Amino acid sequence: MIKNPTTTTLRCFIAIASPLTEAARPLISELERLVSSEKFRLRIAPPENLHITLKFVGSVDTDQAGLLDSILRNQSIKQAPLYLNCRGIEFFSNSLYMAF
């Protein structure tokens, strides 16, 4: 595929919005308190940005992102409910994440 030099790309991934946004607020508040004390250097994502990443797609041309979104939404409605149990909280590189 020949790239148009003016084409921009988006970093895309397939994710599920986190059902734990409200439950995570106390943990996020405590992390923010630790960060403000300057004992730790963390960038904390707002609770509304919490999600469960299923698959990292990579760079997608912006003009193709809508099509990808449409295909994935169409396929997702055909899937059975997903039930997850959290095993704990872990660290990877510069990220804190919940392990399932």
CB atoms within 10 A of CB 100: 10
pLDDT digits (tens, 9 = 90+) for 23-79: 888 888 887 887 777 666 677 778 788 888 889 999 999 999 999 999 999 998 898
State whether residue 49 is helix, strand or coil: helix
State whether residue 1 is helix, strand or coil: coil
Query: How many domains is the chain partitioned into structurally?
Result: 1
Task: Tell me whether residue 76 is in a domain.
Answer: yes
Task: Tell me whether residue 88 is in a domain.
Answer: yes
Which range of residues forms the domain containing residue 17? 9-99
Task: Tell me whether residue 1 is in a domain.
Answer: no
pLDDT number for residue 4: 58
Q: What is the 3-state secondary structure (H, E, C) of 54-86?
A: EEEEEEEEHHHHHHHHHHHHHHHCCCCCCCCCC
pLDDT number for residue 23: 81
CB environment 24-40: b (16+ within 10 A), e (fewer): eeeeeeeeeeeeeeeee
* pTM, to two decimals: 0.62
